[in-house]
Structure formats: structure tokens, C-alpha cells
């Protein structure tokens, strides 16, 4: 009974079945206080309620009762990881894998945790990777067996199983069910001719008993929802709107079960060497699960959600869209740092921005600025999905923007029910969403290549320079804007050179005068063995070079230094690797100017950090390792956009964007000599107040143009990408 009650949906503001489940578990433990399964279920319930510390204690009791209970071990490890105790999590994940070597959740969790702290012992190698790491932490050229190839094979198996989801569905519902499905299509489209009915039947026959049958049926239903909502909008626009009954939501066949997502989630796939097909399927399967779990909720109405009224138009025929932004990150979070001025900068004649905060206020200046800058700001953190959706519909939102994607705190179920005609993903998640409920993602020609366009089910809004938004021109302490507000002298290139020299001497007094200081300020999970080996080779070939990294986390520092000692015969290399604590935001930006060159991580680039570094004038060498991976191309997008669009600017950007591991190494060595980096630094610094990349006003205007074009395409029934000139 406890398991049944715990599995029932419970949302903010909704009925709580969890309290009853809690009482059943406690009663069960009073009867048998050494029952590991009951402890494990109770721990999971507490964790779901946000009581992670309590859950850890309960999981530990389960493990004490049975030290070989793999689920308890894995759940304890997962909870410890969530609390930042990654080293402890690794211990329990390893125990779970020792008990059950093919336990996919434990294997996946172990891979994620070991990657977080750069513990690569037994990692092996896979795919494109030229090097592997064996059980003893030794570097091996070529591939050896390890947990990484096991994880990739596991995901391949899960993808293959997921593609069998729903196979046989169309046969199982028989002819009567297929006629009912045809009727659903007819109601959604507002009518079908006999020829069209035959075409639909023929299409379904081609899906029968083939891979992706279930996914195709669900995708069809979601596309019909979109079409039906547009038909309703057009009917309203032309004065022929009918009752709700005329805009029925197509039903999901009852024979279609809720699918499992892959064990590796889309965000965790950023740092693993998945190919384009694997990456695409991981996102699509996660999006499919969101759709199914949401569209089967009892509160979903029988009709599609009503569309908004047509947007207001001025005398020139220009429309005014109501744009909703949904995010859990309107707090002291990198997304808020980057986008804090966007909402106040929207031209109210073109866009009325409404922000829906799915997390409560943290009292930060970022939250306050976004609250003040929005046309309407709604704290919906205590509301159920149903009530949030109802509010979005009542607000008449034309375009709904997803600022989370598949990151922590996401409320993708809001988008799955389609409360707005157009739904767009931007900034929060650097990859494909993969669901029909996402119509567009924001991109640019550097970040999303034409060769790998097929990775994206979504249409693309191509920004003219970079998809990335940055607020430093308004909010950085050394920006002209802030210094004018503080009645301080503007920061010039001459004062910048003096500041940089003095700060470097203060931070690193032990560095020789001719030291070449390289740096990377990413979280250490973005470093992989190939990248670390490349950096060590650079240090070995440049005796005057130093590498500055962050204790992000501290245990990652210990592992990286351990591998440096193992892999590099030059003992001085380890002595030239410097770790410092993570700094708060303003200090982090301020001190980024000290290094000579920022070394980007190729598998998953610096994103916010890259913008911070470029603001200080520090050049970044970046390698967009994969054409299919957006997270691997953001660095190139930022470098390309941060330089002026002149011949000199383009040439400098091209020098910093490399195309192979060997070119990466060679380019860093080249740049360590001569005056090229100093010239780049001067160009970057002098253009930051006048160029496009840090021009948030222009970025917002370009975004508005893209959203308006996408809206006009939706009204006209067009389905292509949008190019903002």
C-alpha cells in the first residue's frame, strides 16, 4: 500500500498521498525494524519530499540491514551525490556495481560521479578518444576495457529497447481502434476526405511492427494538438470560433504504456563521447517520457488549450507578442547573471515579457532586477503544473520560452501540454530537447552546423552573431555603465594594463617575470583524459608555462595532480599546476584578466565562464570537437562573436578556433611566443563596449525579430528555420 500511495502523483498545491505512504512505511518498520526494502522505500519517499539528509540516514539503515542490497546502495550513493558528497557516493556506487555488475543505474551513477572528480581509474576509452585509462590510472594509447565503454553499450541497449516501445500498438488496437484513431485525427484537423483517411491508414500501416512505432504514434498525437490549436486560433481570428468540443485533444491509446528514459540523462551526456544518433535518442526518449507522464494526467482537458487572442498590431502592421519565460533560475544563478537585463530591455511595442518563476525568491539582487524588469512577474513556485498552465493560458501567451531544458529544476511538463502556440528553448540547455513540445531552439551558424542539422528535431532561430546572451556591459563592476553610476573614471586600455600587471603580481607573486599563465575556470568534470594529456604535453613543451585551475571540487584537484605525476616524466610539470578556491561572481570576473590564455575544454566548452573571460580581454583557444554537439561549440560561437566583424577581428577569432587535438597543442605553443596574444587582448578589450557580443540591447532586439518571424510563420502554416539578419 505504501508503494502504491508513494507512486501517485503529488504536486505543489495538489493532494498529498505521500503522507499516507509515510505512515504505512513507518507501520511496516514497527512490525519488522530490519526490513531493508521498507527502509529503502521510505528513504526514496523522504528524498522526493526534499528531505535528502533524512533520506541518507534511512538509506544507511537499509544498508546496515543488508550490505548487499544493490538498490539501497545505489540510492544512498545518489543521495550523497546530490548533497555534494561525491567521494562518498563513489564508494557506495562501487559497492552496488560489485554486487550487480550490470546494474545500469549504479554503473551510470558511478560514471557520473567519477567524472565529476576526475577519478578516471578503470575508465577505459571509447569512440574518437585516442587515449584510455586503465584500472591503475595509467595512460594507454588506444582503447582498453573500462566503465566508459560499458556505459555507452548500456545506453545503446537502452536506446534499442526504447525504440521497441509501442511496437505492435497499431495491431493491438485492431480495426475498431484504428477507426477511432482516424476519428481523432479528423476531429483535430476539422475534417478528412476519404482520400486523406486512406493516406493516414497507409502511413500507419508503414509504422506497424517497426521500430519507433510508439514514438511515431505519440508524435502524431502531439503534432495534431499543435495543428488543432492553430485551427482554433484561425477560427477565432476570422470570427468562426466554435465551442470547446470542436477542438478535441487527440487521446493517447490506452495500450501505450509510459516508457522509461535512458539512465544517462541529456545533461549528463554533455561530457560523454556519444555520437549524434546516441545524443539525439537520449534527448528524444527523455522528452517522450515527459510527454507521456504529463498527457495522461487526469486534469488534462478533453480539448487542446485555447490559443491566445491575435496580438495587437500598430499602424505599420507590426505585432506585439506576449512572451512567457519559464525558469527555476530567476535567482543567484548563472542564467540570471547573463539574462538579468533582458526583460527590461524588451521593446514593449514588440514584446510584453511575463516571467514565471518556478522557484521561490532567494532575495538576491538578480531576482529583484528580473522582478522589476518584467512586464509581469509571477512566482508560481507553490503552484501545481495544472495551475501554472491555467495561468499561462489566462495571460494570453503567444510564445512560451523554456529557460531550463533538461537542467535541475526544469518543469518540462508545463510545455508538454502546450499552453502556448509557440514554444522555444534558449540559453538554459545547450543541446536538442527532442520533443514535439519544443518548436524552436536558439542557435547561430557557428554553434549549429548544417552538416549535423538532423540532430535537431526542432526548428532553429539563427541569431546573426551568437546564440549566447551576456549582461556584463550593464552589470560588470568595470563596465562603463556601472562606473558612470558610481561617478568613477572610465576604465581605459592603459589602466587595464596597469591593473592586470599589479593584480597578477598580487595573486601569483611566485611566478617568474616571463611566465606564460594558462587557465581554465570550468568545473573539473568538463576535463577528460585526452584534454588533460594535451594540457600536460603543452606544459612539458613550454618550461615557462603554468596552468591555473579551480578547486572545483577539491577532490578533483587531487586526482588531476595524481595523473599528472603518473603520465608526465617531467617532475616540474606538477609544480607548475596551480589550484585556487572558487571565487564569488564579481571577483571571479575581476581576476580572470590575470591569465595570458584561457584553455577551453573541447567535449563541453566553457559557456558562462567563456563570456566572463572574454569580457576581461583574455583570449580563449577553443576546439569545437564535435559538429553534432552544441555544448562543444558554444566556445567557438562566443570567440567568433566577441571579436569585431572586421577582417582583423575575423582573423584573430580564426586563430583561436582550432580543428584538432594536435592543432590545439600547436596553437597554444605558437601563441605563447611573440605579441599576438597582447594584440588580441587589446582588440577584445577595446571592442567590449562597442561590439555586438556584449550588446544586450541588440541581442534582445534580434531575439524579438526571431520570435516575431517564428510567430508569423506559425500563423501562415510555414515550418522552416528562421534566420535573423
- Taking alpha carbons only, the member of 380, 392, 438, 381 closest to residue 419 is 392
How confident is the model over 68-88, as pLDDT tens digits?
Answer: 999 999 999 999 999 989 999
Per-residue pLDDT at 14? 42
pLDDT classification of 20: cutoffs 50, 70, 90: confident
DSSP bridge pairs for 545:
516
What is the C-alpha to C-alpha distance for residues 611 and 96, in angstroms, rounded to an integer?
40
pLDDT over 80 at 16, yes or no: no
How confident is the model over 438-477, as pLDDT tens digits?
Answer: 999 999 999 999 888 999 999 999 999 999 999 999 999 9
pLDDT mean across residues, the chain: 95
What is the C-alpha to C-alpha distance for residues 577 and 571, in angstroms, rounded to an integer?
11
Structural domains for the chain: 22-164 (1.25.40.10), 169-296 (no CATH), 321-470+698-723 (3.40.50.11380), 487-693 (3.40.50.2000)
How confident is the model over 229-256, as pLDDT tens digits?
Answer: 999 999 999 999 999 989 999 999 999 9
pLDDT over 70 at 3, yes or no: no
pLDDT over 70 at 190, yes or no: yes
Which residue bears the cell 533582458?
Answer: 342
Task: Work out the average pLDDT over 210-237.
Answer: 97
Per-residue pLDDT at 9? 52
pLDDT over 80 at 98, yes or no: yes
Q: Supply 682's cell numbers.
A: 587589446
Q: Supply 542's cell numbers.
A: 613550454
Q: Hey, what long-range contacts does 715-723 have (CB within 8 A, 24 or more apart)?
A: 715/230, 715/233, 715/234, 717/230, 719/459, 720/459, 721/459, 721/460, 721/461, 721/462, 722/440, 722/459, 722/460, 722/461, 722/462, 723/462
- Give 347-409 as a DSSP string: -TTTEEEEEEESS-----HHHHHHHHHSSEEEE-TTS-HHHHHHHHHHTT-SEEEES-SSSTT
From residue 589, how far is each of 340, 584, 610, 614, 714 by CA, in Å? Answer: 17, 9, 10, 10, 41
Per-residue pLDDT at 218? 97
- At 355, phi and psi to the nearest 5? -100, 130
pLDDT classification of 317: cutoffs 50, 70, 90: confident
pTM: 0.94
Q: Supply 541's cell numbers.
A: 613543451
How confident is the model over 469-510, as pLDDT tens digits?
Answer: 999 999 999 999 999 999 999 999 999 999 999 999 999 999
pLDDT classification of 23: cutoffs 50, 70, 90: confident
Q: Give counts: helices (H), strands (E), the chain.
A: 31, 16
What is the C-alpha to C-alpha distance for residues 592 and 617, in angstroms, rounded to an integer?
9
Query: How do 597-599 and 422-425 pair as beta strands?
Result: unpaired
Per-residue pLDDT at 21? 81
pLDDT over 70 at 17, yes or no: no
pLDDT exceeding 70 applies to what percent of the chain? Answer: 98
Per-residue pLDDT at 22? 85
Task: Work out the average pLDDT over 296-303.
Answer: 96
CB 293, CB 321: distance < 8 Å: no
What is the C-alpha to C-alpha distance for residues 507 and 669, in angstroms, rounded to an integer?
24
From residue 425, how far is each of 73, 405, 542 by CA, in Å? Answer: 36, 7, 43
From residue 497, how far is each of 266, 649, 676 by CA, in Å? Answer: 42, 20, 16
Per-residue pLDDT at 656? 99
- Find the largest Cα–Cα distance for the chain: 83
What is the C-alpha to C-alpha distance for residues 544 and 511, in angstroms, rounded to an integer?
9
pLDDT over 60 at 6, yes or no: no
Per-residue pLDDT at 19? 77
What is the C-alpha to C-alpha distance for residues 7 and 9, in angstroms, rounded to an integer?
6
Alpha-helical segments (H) within 607-716:
608-615, 634-642, 647-656, 661-671, 676-687, 696-716
What is the C-alpha to C-alpha distance for residues 177 and 254, in angstroms, rounded to an integer?
10
pLDDT classification of 175: cutoffs 50, 70, 90: confident
Q: Supply 605's cell numbers.
A: 566548452
CB-side neighbour CA atoms (13 Å) of 404:
21
Task: Work out the average pLDDT over 385-407.
Answer: 98
Q: What share of the chain is helix, strand, coil (3-state, %, to 5)?
A: 50, 10, 40
Per-residue pLDDT at 261? 87
Per-residue pLDDT at 4? 44
- The DSSP secondary-structure symbol of 304 reads P
How confident is the model over 502-550, as pLDDT tens digits?
Answer: 999 999 999 999 999 999 999 999 999 999 999 999 999 999 999 999 9
pLDDT over 90 at 435, yes or no: yes
What is the C-alpha to C-alpha distance for residues 530 and 490, in angstroms, rounded to an integer?
43
Per-residue pLDDT at 12? 54
Per-residue pLDDT at 168? 94
Handedness of CA 420, 410, 277, 447 (dihedral sign): positive
What is the C-alpha to C-alpha distance for residues 108 and 102, in angstroms, rounded to an integer?
10
- Give 249-285 as a DSSP string: PPPPPTT-PPPPPPSS-TTGGGGS---HHHHHHHHHH
Which residue bears the cell 479528423?
Answer: 186
Amino acid at each position: 500500500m505504501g508503494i502504491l500511495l508513494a507512486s501517485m502523483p503529488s504536486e505543489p498545491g495538489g493532494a498529498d498521498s505521500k503522507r499516507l505512504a509515510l505512515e504505512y512505511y513507518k507501520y511496516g518498520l514497527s512490525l519488522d525494524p530490519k526490513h531493508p526494502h521498507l527502509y529503502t522505500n521510505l528513504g526514496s519517499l523522504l528524498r522526493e519530499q526534499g528531505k535528502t539528509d533524512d533520506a541518507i540516514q534511512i538509506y544507511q539503515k537499509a544498508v546496515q540491514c543488508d550490505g548487499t542490497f544493490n538498490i539501497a546502495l545505489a540510492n544512498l550513493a545518489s543521495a550523497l551525490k546530490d548533497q555534494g558528497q561525491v567521494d562518498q557516493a563513489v564508494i557506495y556506487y562501487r559497492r552496488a556495481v560489485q554486487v550487480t555488475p550490470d546494474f545500469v543505474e549504479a554503473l551510470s551513477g558511478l560514471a557520473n560521479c567519477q567524472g565529476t572528480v576526475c577519478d578516471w581509474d578503470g575508465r577505459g576509452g571509447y569512440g574518437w578518444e585516442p587515449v584510455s585509462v586503465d584500472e591503475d590510472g595509467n595512460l594507454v594509447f588506444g582503447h582498453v576495457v573500462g566503465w566508459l565503454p560499458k556505459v555507452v553499450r548500456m545506453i545503446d541497449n537502452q536506446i534499442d529497447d526504447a525504440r521497441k516501445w509501442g511496437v505492435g500498438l497499431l495491431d493491438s488496437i485492431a480495426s475498431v481502434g484504428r477507426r477511432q484513431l482516424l476519428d481523432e485525427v479528423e476531429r483535430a484537423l476539422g475534417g478528412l476526405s476519404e482520400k486523406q483517411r486512406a493516406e493516414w491508414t497507409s502511413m500507419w500501416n508503414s509504422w506497424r511492427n517497426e521500430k519507433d512505432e510508439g514514438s511515431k504514434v505519440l508524435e502524431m498525437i502531439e503534432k495534431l494538438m499543435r495543428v488543432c490549436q492553430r485551427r482554433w486560433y484561425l477560427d477565432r481570428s476570422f470570427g468562426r470560433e466554435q465551442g470547446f468540443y470542436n477542438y478535441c485533444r487527440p487521446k493517447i491509446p490506452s495500450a501505450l504504456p509510459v516508457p522509461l528514459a535512458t539512465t544517462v540523462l541529456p545533461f549528463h551526456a554533455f561530457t560523454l563521447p556519444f555520437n549524434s544518433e546516441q545524443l539525439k535518442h537520449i534527448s528524444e526518449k527523455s522528452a517522450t517520457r515527459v510527454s507521456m507522464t504529463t498527457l495522461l494526467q487526469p486534469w488534462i482537458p478533453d480539448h487542446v488549450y485555447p490559443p491566445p487572442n491575435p496580438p495587437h498590431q500598430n499602424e505599420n502592421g507590426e505585432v506585439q507578442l506576449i512572451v512567457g519565460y519559464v525558469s527555476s533560475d530567476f535567482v543567484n544563478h548563472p542564467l540570471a547573471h547573463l539574462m538579468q537585463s533582458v526583460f527590461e530591455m524588451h521593446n514593449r511595442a514588440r514584446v510584453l515579457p511575463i516571467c514565471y518563476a518556478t522557484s521561490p525568491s532567494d532575495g538576491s539582487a538578480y531576482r529583484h532586477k528580473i522582478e522589476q524588469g518584467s512586464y509581469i512577474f509571477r512566482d508560481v513556485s507553490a503552484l501545481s503544473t495544472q495551475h501554472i498552465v491555467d495561468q499561462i493560458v489566462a495571460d494570453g501567451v503567444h510564445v512560451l520560452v523554456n529557460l531550463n531544458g533538461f537542467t535541475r529544476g526544469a518543469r518540462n511538463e508545463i510545455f508538454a501540454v502546450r499552453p502556448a502556440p509557440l514554444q522555444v528553448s534558449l540559453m538554459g540547455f545547450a543541446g536538442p530537447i527532442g520533443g514535439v513540445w519544443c518548436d524552436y531552439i536558439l542557435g547561430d551558424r557557428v554553434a549549429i552546423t548544417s552538416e549535423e542539422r538532423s540532430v535537431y528535431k526542432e526548428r532553429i532561430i539563427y541569431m546573426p552573431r551568437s546564440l549566447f546572451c551576456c549582461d556584463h556591459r550593464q552589470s560588470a563592476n568595470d563596465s562603463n555603465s556601472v562606473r558612470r553610476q558610481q561617478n568613477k573614471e572610465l576604465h581605459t586600455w592603459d589602466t587595464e594594463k596597469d591593473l592586470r600587471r599589479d593584480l597578477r603580481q598580487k595573486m601569483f607573486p611566485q611566478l617568474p617575470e616571463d611566465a606564460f599563465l594558462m587557465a581554465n575556470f570550468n568545473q573539473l568534470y568538463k576535463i577528460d583524459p585526452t584534454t588533460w594529456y594535451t594540457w600536460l604535453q603543452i606544459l612539458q613543451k613550454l618550461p615557462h608555462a603554468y596552468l591555473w585551475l579551480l578547486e572545483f571540487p577539491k577532490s578533483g584537484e587531487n586526482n588531476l595532480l595524481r595523473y599528472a605525476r603518473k603520465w608526465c616524466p617531467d617532475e616540474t610539470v606538477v609544480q607548475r599546476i596551480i589550484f585556487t578556491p572558487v571565487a564569488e561572481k564579481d571577483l571571479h570576473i575581476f581576476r580572470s584578466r590575470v591569465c595570458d590564455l584561457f584553455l577551453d575544454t573541447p567535449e563541453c566548452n566553457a559557456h558562462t565562464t567563456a563570456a566572463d573571460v572574454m569580457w576581461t580581454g583574455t583570449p580563449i583557444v577553443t576546439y569545437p570537437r564535435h559538429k553534432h554537439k552544441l555544448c562543444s561549440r558554444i566556445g567557438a560561437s562566443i570567440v567568433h562573436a566577441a571579436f569585431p566583424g572586421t577582417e582583423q577581428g575575423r582573423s584573430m577569432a580564426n586563430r583561436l578556433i582550432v580543428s584538432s587535438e594536435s592543432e590545439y597543442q600547436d596553437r597554444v605553443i605558437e601563441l605563447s611566443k611573440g605579441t599576438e596574444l597582447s594584440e588580441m587582448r587589446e582588440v577584445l578589450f577595446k571592442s567590449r563596449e562597442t561590439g555586438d557580443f556584449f550588446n544586450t540591447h541588440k541581442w534582445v532586439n534580434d531575439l524579438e525579430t526571431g520570435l516575431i518571424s517564428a510567430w508569423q510563420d506559425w500563423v501562415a502554416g510555414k515550418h522552416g528555420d528562421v534566420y535573423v539578419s
